[in-house]
Structure 1
Amino acid sequence: MDWSRVLAYGMLPALAFVLVIGAGVLKILDSGVRQSDTARAESVQAAKDSAVAMLTYTPDTVEQQLTAARERLTGGFLQHYTELTNNVVIPGAKEKQISAVASVPGAASVSADPAHAVVLLFINQTVTVGTGVPSDTASSVRVTLDKVDDRWLISQFEPL
């Protein structure tokens, strides 16, 4: 048996085939990692921006601000937030001249894929009632987001 022929016509093509398949698998895996990294970055930013929009308002513009924040929400949470703001927050802010300013000093992605993400937020909020002394609160929240029409929307907002 001529080993050079076996090597040239059998082993080398098989090795080339295995290398091509391996390169394809690596390319697919790399694409998945890049999509997850993009989902993480986008969802963290969307969670931060949306939390600030949901929790920041002034008595003069509370209705417009919180109505605009609803565009960042979806599902059952959108319904719950709408009821809470319409029945409690907006009337209370107007009647008692309440203003609130929220910030997000820290955020971390818990999990993310191209269509669903979970983000942990650390939120500071300063609330002023009328001409009273502002009060500060700090909280942490688990935010679940779903990608709908290329936008990350909050579907759950759970205080921890």
Structure 2
Amino acid sequence: MRWPKPRRTSDRPVDDTAPEIADAEVGEPDRDEQPTAPGRRRRESRALAYTLLPVLALLLASAAGYLKWQQESVREAQVAGAESLRAATDGAIALLSYKPETVQKDLDAARSRLTGTFLNAYTSLTHDVVIPGAQQKQIAAVASVPAAATVQASASHAVVLLFINQSLTIGQDVPTNSASSVQVGLDKIDGRWLISKFDPV
């Protein structure tokens, strides 16, 4: 009978230094790598907030002010356009309409719708030519504005394009009709839109 051979243990020496190395590697973290303290982070957050909030508030206020100004400008332009368009239309009809028996009164009343150099030119033309001719030849004129459009408009000045029809009757003759387009300039003076230019185009 053969007895089993006893097992041989390893001849290599036991490494007793491993735990020491492991213990040496596990130590306190370097102070330079430590996270920022909570108190310091809070102070930095507050400082950042105090810096950014006023800037954001200023930007928001500026944006709101600009939008309000823009809306008011658009609204003023729309109101000016509507008012000047009506003034140009009514003014053109008044300037070009009269009867022989009331021509002096009709055209003098129309002068109240004018301003500037155009007022002076219109006054000279009507007094020197139109009124005497209408009275002598029994001329009657009737004007209408079938179409009109605003070219530009601001709070104090506007330009309007008018399409004008005029019917002219001399004595007992058959009326003659004419059509024209006129660019009208208007200025707002003392709350009223007055015609300052009246140029055929």
Q: Deviations over 1:40-96 (max 9, x none)?
A: 111110000000000000101010000000000011111110111011111111111
What letter corresponds to residue 74 of structure 2 in structure 1?
A: V
Runs of 4+ with >6 A deviation: none
Which has a greater percent of strand?
1
Counterpart residue number, 1:153? 194
Counterpart residue number, 1:16? 57
- After TM superposition, the score normalised by the length of structure 1 is 0.94
User: CA offset at residue 7 of structure 1?
Assistant: 5.1
**Looking at both structures, which has the greater relative contact order when contacts are Cα pairs under 8 Å and sequence separation is at least 6?**
1
Counterpart residue number, 1:66? 107
Q: CA RMSD in A?
A: 1.3
User: CA offset at residue 6 of structure 1?
Assistant: 4.7
Q: Deviations over 1:99-124 (max 9, x none)?
A: 01000111111111111111100000
User: CA offset at residue 13 of structure 1?
Assistant: 3.4
Greater Cα shift, 43-52 or 18-27: 18-27
Q: What CA distance in whole angstroms lies between the structure 2 residues aligned with 1:24 and 1:80?
A: 45
Between the aligned residues of both structures, percent identity stands at 58
Q: What CA distance in whole angstroms lies between the structure 2 residues aligned with 1:129 and 1:45?
A: 30
User: What runs of 5+ residues in structure 2 fail to find an aligned partner?
Assistant: 1-39
Query: Which residue, 174, 179, 190 being the options, matches 1:133?
Result: 174
- After TM superposition, the score normalised by the length of structure 2 is 0.76
Larger Rg: 2
User: What runs of 5+ residues in structure 1 fail to find an aligned partner?
Assistant: none
What letter corresponds to residue 15 of structure 1 in structure 2?
A: L
User: CA offset at residue 11 of structure 1?
Assistant: 2.4
